[in-house]
Amino acid sequence: MKDVLLIISASFLMAIQFGCSEGPSFSNEIHFYIDQNHKSEAPVEKLTYGLFIPAPWDNGGVFYVNFPEHLEYNPVGNTILRHFDTIPNPWIISPDGKQASYKVQSLALKDVYVESFSWVMNPGDLPFDVQGVHVSMRISNFGSTTLPVNAH
């Protein structure tokens, strides 16, 4: 049996140009990368699902997305994925750095898989020449047990 439990989708705006009659002043292209050396043995600091996204303007720093931080079900907070999971960073980055994805099995729930996708949005996808990225997640249960959910 396969149940898609949840699909999460969001877009992040990287910058907005206000009051400019000229084109956008982005000096860098948005891309993704991971750093396998960016880790900690302390559970509170471990960021297993971390993805780096440099800002597209000079000296803009880096946006760090830990996707997910905590992924739980029902009000008690039963674990699907946690930021301190004991696996290497699973993100796979495309050769051009414009897409990233992973598929992992939950360490806590047999036969439950989480797939995450991220891509740099195309020019014109957002108004006012804003640059952005899109992230989405699909959670699938391939087991025969229905996960308990207590909806309020």
Which two structure tokens, joined as six digits, stand for 47? 């960021």
> pLDDT at residue 15 above 80?
no
> pLDDT at residue 120 above 80?
yes
Are the CB atoms for 137 and 10 separated by under 8 Å?
no
Which residue, among 26, 14, 10, has the nearest Cα to 117 in the 3D structure? Answer: 10
End-to-end, the C-alpha distance of the chain in Å comes to 26
Does this model's pTM top 0.95? My answer is: no
Confidence of residue 39 (pLDDT cuts 50, 70, 90): low
pLDDT at 123: 78
Which residue, among 93, 105, 103, 31, has the nearest Cα to 62 in the 3D structure? Answer: 31
Q: What is the pLDDT of residues 73-97, one digit of tens each?
A: 777 777 888 888 888 889 999 999 9
**Burial letters 131-148, b for 16+ CB under 10 A, else e:** bbbbbbbbbbbeeeeeee
Are the CB atoms for 32 and 97 separated by under 8 Å?
yes
Listing DSSP states for 39-97 in one string gives --SSTTT--TTEEEEE-SSTT--EEEEES-SEEEETTTTEEEEETT-SS----EE-TTS
Angle among Cα 137, 114, 86 to the nearest 5 degrees reads 125
